[in-house]
Amino acid sequence: MARVDVAETGNGGAQAGRPESRFRAVVDRWRGDPGVWRRGRLLAVCAVLTALLMIFHAQVPNRIGNLGSLFETFLPWLGVPVVLIALAALWRRSATALVAVVLPAVVWANLFAGLMTDKSGTDGDLTVLTHNVNADNPDPRGTAREVAGAGADVLALEELKPGMVPVYEEALAAEYPHHSVQGTVGLWSKYPIRGAGPVDLRLGWTRAMRATVAAPAGDVAVYVAHLPSVRVKLNAGFTASQRDRSADALGEAIAGERLGRVVLLGDLNGTMNDRSLKAVTSQMRSTQGAAGDGMGFSWPAGFPLARIDQIMVKGVEPTASWTLAQTSSDHLPLAARIRL
């Protein structure tokens, strides 16, 4: 009898170690806890408020320090407090908080889960790349070699320091026989370029351009833009008014484009969620949202927090979109493949 008892005890111990047995034990413990629905009410309130912020993010006012634009720039990161609330609810053994956290989790998934799936394909007629190379880049020649090595057909560079333009021209000449530099932005192409010229962003100096690329599958209007930088200041909030005016000017230029196929490459210093870029985003598609895999954050390069660099299209079909490895710049390069 003693031996049988020992065997049964050992078998029961093995069963208790199974994941389903542990889960059942936790459920039984919670079921017998009279405070499981009373604890964690503050966590539940935080969960509901997080969901409301995501649902009504467009209602966060921009009148005070452009708070709405700042909030929308980092909107995907609201997934972090959702996870923290869920973990805190488990630690507090609060059924109320666990039920409440389902709401922001569903809202976040509705907004961003689609970006987390791989939508990239293998076909396409044209590969494009954009990179803010950083005016203070310590190795412009190395950066040029790295982006050229990606094999894109069309390459856009932003934040070109005038004294460094010859360095980029020399480093890219072998791969890209056609190019045009307008102000601080430039376009390099394996195919002929026609009608290259500046685009007025209402700044007084040139930070955008437009050109026609004669690709084998047909002409494409390519815009390269670097919208003004934004800053977060304690006394002024999110200073983005200059960027917003330039975005409106860029949107007007693209709206008046005669060609049906349009590609926008550049550093817009804003995300697709930022309402202040609606003059552009309302008429174009993000290649990352349509054919990417993941969020595609591009800045800062060391620990990307937001996708402020963009590849956007109109009249063409994106088939793949991806982020490239870090160069000597503070931005990551972005590439996309499109079907004309």
- 202 & 332 share domain: yes
Are the beta carbons of 176 and 188 closer than 8 angstroms?
A: yes
Q: Are residues 111 and 244 in the same domain?
A: no
For residues 87 and 145, state if they share a domain. Answer: no
**3-state DSSP of 287-328:** HHHHHCCCCCCCECCCCCCECCEEEEEECCEEEEEEECCCCC
Mean pLDDT of 18-37: 69
φ/ψ bin of 195: left (φ > 0), alpha (ψ from -120 to 50), beta (otherwise): left
Query: Tell me, what's the pLDDT at 150?
Result: 96
Same domain, 130 and 112: no
User: Does the residue 23 lie in any domain?
Assistant: no
Please tell me the predicted confidence (pLDDT) of residue 6: 44
From 73, 98, 116, the end of a domain falls on 116
pLDDT in tens, 167-205: 999 999 999 999 999 999 999 999 999 999 999 999 999
Q: What is the mean pLDDT of the chain?
A: 91
Q: Does the residue 230 lie in any domain?
A: yes
Task: Assign 137 a pLDDT band (cuts: 50, 70, 90).
Answer: very high
Number of domains in the chain: 2
Encode 2-29 in three state secondary structure: HHHHHHHHHHHHHHHCCHHHHHHHHHHH
- Judged by DSSP in three states, 236 sits in coil
Name the percent of the chain lying above pLDDT 70: 89
**What gap in Å lies between CA 156 and CA 128, rounded to an integer?**
8
Assigned domain for 26 exists: no
Residue 17 has pLDDT above 80, yes or no: no
Q: Which of 116, 138, 173 is the last residue of a domain?
A: 116
The answer to whether residues 142 and 248 belong to one domain is yes
Are 190 and 264 members of one domain? yes
Q: What pLDDT band is residue 235 in, cutting at 50, 70 and 90?
A: low
In a domain, 235, yes or no: yes
CA-to-CA distance for 328 and 340, rounded, in angstroms?
A: 32
Mean pLDDT along residues 120-148: 96
Based on the domain organization, do 191 and 98 belong to the same domain?
A: no
Q: Which DSSP letter does residue 217 get? A: T
pLDDT digits (tens, 9 = 90+) for 78-107: 999 999 999 999 999 899 999 999 999 999
Residue range 284-317, pLDDT digits in tens = 999 999 999 999 999 999 999 999 999 999 999 9
pLDDT at position 4: 45
CA distance 129 to 140: 17
- Let me know if residue 82 belongs to a domain: yes
Q: Between these two residues, 17 and 244, which has the higher pLDDT value?
A: 244
Instruction: Confirm whether 104 is domain-assigned.
Output: yes
At which of 81, 116, 151 does a domain end?
116
Here the CATH number for the domain that contains residue 292 is 3.60.10.10
Give the whole-angstrom CA distance, residue 313 versus residue 53: 29
Asked whether residue 187 is assigned to any structural domain, the reply reads yes
Do 189 and 93 lie in a common domain?
A: no
Q: Which pTM does this prediction carry? A: 0.88
Torsion angle, alpha carbons of 46, 74, 68, 331, to 10: 170
- Is residue 209 within 8 A of residue 195, CB to CB? The reply is no
Q: Are residues 177 and 307 in the same domain?
A: yes
Same domain assignment for residues 195 and 298:
yes
Mean pLDDT of the region 121-131: 95
Helix H or strand E segment including 155 = strand 154-158
The distance between the two most distant Cα atoms of the chain, rounded to a whole number of Å, is 96
Amino acid at 182: Q
Q: Which domain holds residue 131?
A: 126-339
For every residue of 71-92, DSSP letters joined together read HHHTGGGGHHHHHHHHHHHHHH
Same domain membership, residue 157 and residue 93: no
Q: Are residues 324 and 200 in the same domain?
A: yes
Q: Is residue 55 part of a domain?
A: yes
